[in-house]
Chain A
């Protein structure tokens, strides 16, 4: 199935998504990766303020290249999500609903996805130039000292994504290769 989705996303829409579905995402998403996750998690644990409202939020694990003068953003593909695994359940438990990245997640993340009715979307790794074309607005809203790892508020349009782990915990990284192998076995 193909879905056009606008953020902030509601849980009943996420519930419809199945591992392997295509999603074209528009609206506001926030970039955060390793160090930003660490700071956000620390702030949550200490009851301090965090840079953006986590409720129904979409977080993109990406650290873009610097932008040329004529560009909104530089190349901005996804980074490896598993490095965020130790922080993601906490963020989901505080309202984060959509994670965008690449690569496998651990069991704790999958459990938190099911528990919170969240979703893990895959952006194609290594396709940074193509992703940049979907970004219509970009501004750093927190942790500018982190450089490429600063938290950015992006406005995206029809960002091409794939459902990797749906809200029931089905995982495309298991299903996709298995289905392919079955198809050549015939």
Chain B
């Protein structure tokens, strides 16, 4: 049995919150660099150059890459042979509170969706616990801003619909979102499951590094096709035109009902943030 103190989880989450917001993940940086090299449209090249510069400044000055330091989703992946000494949920929230205060990150959470009083420390985190094998223990911290969150969509297609309708739904969602979600975007797509699971799948897809495609070649191809179709829109970085509307597409699936085909499109900005640690 592996013993993990709640205080270590708090410390880890706190550090991950700061790292995620100031030091962009390697795969996203790489994708932005690649997009810059491939762009021929001048306004798009200029914008991507500014995006690269901003990432550099943020890292050097330990400033948040974007002022919307987001709502924090935390994923705990743990095996049955791990014992937490203390309250796991409290430990994670204490970590978010500490990281957002210590790291001068913006507190964007309101306690109640209608009465809207700020919680002052960006808690609560949205916590998901996923089972794993043995004494494995991993924490993923993924803050996401609301500019892109506001543009996510969920729809139930017909079971007789197929790839074409899914591609169309994603493309329409991106087109409607336009410049608001800060393109170039990253797109997570959930297909299958039920109402609540398909939304979760779309977020889970965003946690996958951009250079990794779905392990099923059928869906890996669909990811490529969605990306090609989205980039034909010409929206470009910041919506000023260009080939780079989207940096990557990841699809996650689940079995579903004979009568339904749920699809969720999770739009994420060019500051797609995720950091993880294994304990």
Across the interface, which residues of A come within 8 angstroms of B53, CB to CB? 130
Is there a chain B Cβ closer than 8 Å to A139's Cβ? no
Q: Tell me if B104 and A177 are in contact (CB < 8 A).
A: no
Contact with A along B98-121 (1 / 0, CB 8 A): 000000111110000000101010
Determine the residue in chain A with the shortest Cβ distance to B272.
Answer: A126
Report how many residues on chain A are interfacial, defined by Cβ distance under 8 Å.
44
A67, B41: Cα distance in complex, Å: 36
B58 at the interface (CB under 8 A from A): yes
Chain A contacts of B251 at CB under 8 A?
none
B227 within 8 A of A: no
A52 within 8 A of B: no
Q: Which residues of A contact B146 (CB under 8 A)?
A: 80
B66 touches A75 (CB 8 A): yes
Q: How far is the CB of B247 from chain A (nearest CB, A)?
A: 12
Q: Is B66 a contact of A173 with CB atoms below 8 Å?
A: no
CA distance A55 to B236 in the complex (A): 35
A78 CA / B67 CA spacing, docked (Å): 8
Interface magnitude class on chain B: 35 or more
Complex CA gap A133/B69 in Å reads 18
Do A176 and B58 touch across chains, with their CB atoms under 8 A apart? no
A129–B241 touching, CB < 8 Å: no
Q: Does A36 contact B (CB under 8 A)?
A: no
Residues of the B chain whose Cβ atoms lie less than 8 Å from the Cβ of A75: 58, 63-67, 106
| Least Cβ–Cβ distance between A146 and chain B, in angstroms | 8
**Most A Cβ at <10 Å: residue of B50, B68, B243:** B68
- Write the nearest CB–CB distance from A17 to chain B, whole angstroms: 15
Stretch at the interface among A43-51, A58-66, A86-94, A111-119: A58-66
Query: Could you tell me the distance in whole angstroms from the C-beta of A143 to the nearest C-beta in chain B?
Result: 13
Q: A3-11, A151-159, A178-186: which one contacts chain B?
A: A178-186
A65 touches B235 (CB 8 A): no
A109 at the interface (CB under 8 A from B): no
Q: Is A37 an interface residue (CB 8 A)?
A: no
Check A65 against B51 for contact (C-beta < 8 Å).
no
A132 CA to B54 CA, complexed, in Å: 10
Given known pairs A74-B67, A127-B51, A177-B234, the reply for A82 and B180 (CB within 8 Å) is yes
Contact of A62 among B67, B235, B270 (CB under 8 A): B67
Contact of B54 with A127 in the complex, beta carbons under 8 Å? yes
Decide: A102 near B271, CB < 8 A? Known: A129-B61, A129-B65. no
Residues from chain A with a CB closer than 8 A to the CB of B61 are 71, 129
Is A125 on the interface with B (CB-CB < 8 A)? yes
A160 contacts the other chain (CB 8 A): yes
With contacts A65-B69, A176-B236, A177-B236 known, what are 5 further pairs, Cβ within 8 A? A77-B68, A102-B182, A104-B180, A124-B47, A126-B269
